[in-house]
Amino acid sequence: MKISSPDPRAEPPKDPFFAIRQRFLALAETYVLEIAMLRRAAESPAQLRESLTGIGLIAHRVSGVAATLGYDSLGEAAASLDRQLTQAQKSGALDLRTFDQPISIFHASLSNVLDVRQS
């Protein structure tokens, strides 16, 4: 049996996730802005629950796709924030100070994915 090496002139395999990745990155740009606005709105006690719910929904969406597309650290940050916010919503323990760091980590991870794409 003869084993041949791949033809160096052959085109590299196409990225099956290219279109999905481009759509995800476009959404990520809007998510970065939304998270910043929701975080500011959460400083108002009257808007705390609604704002954290909005951030949680974004984290949930991102956690479901990020790791599949190769953005592992973003997926981990999103999943962690999603879990924390879901538990707090259920227990009624919503304190913005509790979520400042996880929100900041998630927001920075999302921004980093966009920065890498642009470089």
Q: Which of 73, 49, 74 is nearest to 61 (CA)?
A: 74
Q: What is the pLDDT of residues 21-74, one digit of tens each?
A: 999 999 999 999 999 999 999 999 999 999 999 999 999 999 989 988 999 999
Give the domain 19-118 fold.
Answer: Four Helix Bundle (Hemerythrin (Met), subunit A) (1.20.120)
Mind listing the pLDDT tens digit for each residue in 31-44? 999 999 999 999 99
The domain spans of the chain are 19-118
Q: C-alpha dihedral over 90, 30, 34, 59, to 10 degrees?
A: 20
